[in-house]
Amino acid sequence: MRSAVSNTMTVKVIGANGQISLGKQFAGRQVLVEEQAPGIWLVRTATVVPDNEHWLHAPATAADLGKALAWAAQNAPSDAELDNTLTRLSDGQQ
């Protein structure tokens, strides 16, 4: 949930190493920094998805994953048929 937007302006000093601090509430967050014009930057928090995980965010995949998680929540794990399952898998049967 987002907090209310506050339109406050603060003065920050860019240190000798080229860094500024945005505050501890943003520690560890990833941000997008867009240079809109020389000396004008837009800084936005972002969630970056690695290329090899994009498929998880496709609508059909996300729906399938949601169904699988719902099924798992309703069906407790059991090893009652473990021997039978292992035999089927070792024989290449599905």
- At 30-80, the pLDDT tens digits run 999 999 999 999 999 999 899 999 888 899 998 999 999 999 999 998 888
pLDDT band at 1 (very low <50, low <70, confident <90, very high): low
Strand, helix or coil for residue 36: strand
Residues 6+ apart with CB under 8 A from 48: 30
Give, as one character, the DSSP assignment of residue 43.
E
Residue 10 clears pLDDT 60, i.e. is over it: yes
- Using CA atoms of 76, 77, 79, 83 in order, give the dihedral in degrees to the nearest 10: 120
- Which pLDDT score is estimated for 6? 72
For residues 35 and 47, give the distance between their C-alpha atoms in angstroms, rounded to a whole number: 19
- Phi/psi at 79 (nearest 5 deg)? -110, 20
Per-domain boundaries in the chain = 51-90
Q: Taking the model in full, what pTM does it have?
A: 0.49
